[in-house]
Amino acid sequence: MRKHISASIWPETKNDAARQLSELHVSSRGQRRSRRARRGSAVFTSRSLNDRILCFEFERQLLTQLGDSVEVVDSTAGFRYFDVRDLLGFVDGTANPVGADIEDAVLITSNDAGEAGAAAVGGGYIVVQKYLHDLSAWNKLSTETQERIVGRTKFDNVELDDAGEEEQKPHKQLATIEKDGVEYDIVRDNMPFGNAGQGEFGTYFIGYSKSLWIVEEMLRRMFVGVPEGRHDRILDYSRAVTGVYFAPGFGCASGFGDGD
């Protein structure tokens, strides 16, 4: 059985790309380790590495204008950790596309119009999910075991060889999507967050993509596993505390206010 997890507002638009948000699925097996998204939600990410005050002011003004039309279900302040590492201690974001490949990965072009609709050209999707880490359990693992789980060395961030067909695959291999010899990337901008005093340590996953199926396939491979049952071991130490939230970017949201 598969469940729809999407914001109910998007299908109301006339915009095909936004309507696709109602079609993003995660299999119910995957949901065992995850929690379902609430319907009717919207995502805002604001960031300024150097100026927390600007983020605060932006959020204050935005929420003042939106008033009672929105309910804030989560507000998480992330930060950049040493060497762009996550709180598991690994450099996060290395395999992101660079240069012109960034736009290729995130912006819907007229070639994708069949999938997303002409109004979506120039836009893209933002996908977020909040994870909490069991750092005391993670830190009991040897560095070698942690490296096998992630698929990279911890200190110098060197990529390890892929696991064989039937073997337990590392996170980086499960999250790599290949179809007909083409690799499909997303751009990730994960933010660590935490509160040492309260023992809270997490990663706020933030992904940008021009196609939702790519993210859906990454999540399926991580949560269900390849082969099935060999799920991503990062999830044994990282619990998804929200469902997956999606928002269309500029172009995608353009259908609002067009009627219906």
Residues taking part in catalysis:
92
3-class state of residue 9 by DSSP? coil
**CB 89 to ligand HEM: min, Å:** 9
* 28 residue type, one letter: S
Cβ-count burial of 213 within 10 angstroms (0-12 exposed, 13-18 middle, 19+ buried)? Answer: middle
The count of other CB atoms within 10 Å of the CB of residue 129 is: 23
**CB 62 to ligand HEM: min, Å:** 26
Closest to ligand HEM by CB, 15 vs 92, is 92
Taking the C-alpha atoms of residue 171 and residue 151, their distance in angstroms, rounded to an integer, is: 6
**CB 90 to ligand HEM: min, Å:** 4
Beta strands at 187-188 and 200-209: parallel, antiparallel or unpaired: antiparallel
Which residues in 205-224 contact ligand HEM (CB under 6 A)? Answer: 205, 207, 215, 218-219
- Return all residues near 118 (Cβ < 8 A) that are at least 6 apart: 110
The helix (run of H) or strand (run of E) holding residue 171 is helix 171-174
Closest to ligand HEM by CB, 16 vs 185, is 185
Which residues in 149-178 contact ligand HEM (CB under 6 A)? Answer: 150, 152, 171-172, 175-176
**95 belongs to the binding site for ligand HEM (CB under 6 A):** yes
Taking the C-alpha atoms of residue 95 and residue 203, their distance in angstroms, rounded to an integer, is: 17
Residues near ligand HEM (CB under 6 A), total: 26
Chain contacts with ligand HEM (rule: CB under 6 A): 86, 88, 90-95, 129, 131, 150, 152, 171-172, 175-176, 186, 188, 203, 205, 207, 215, 218-219, 234, 238
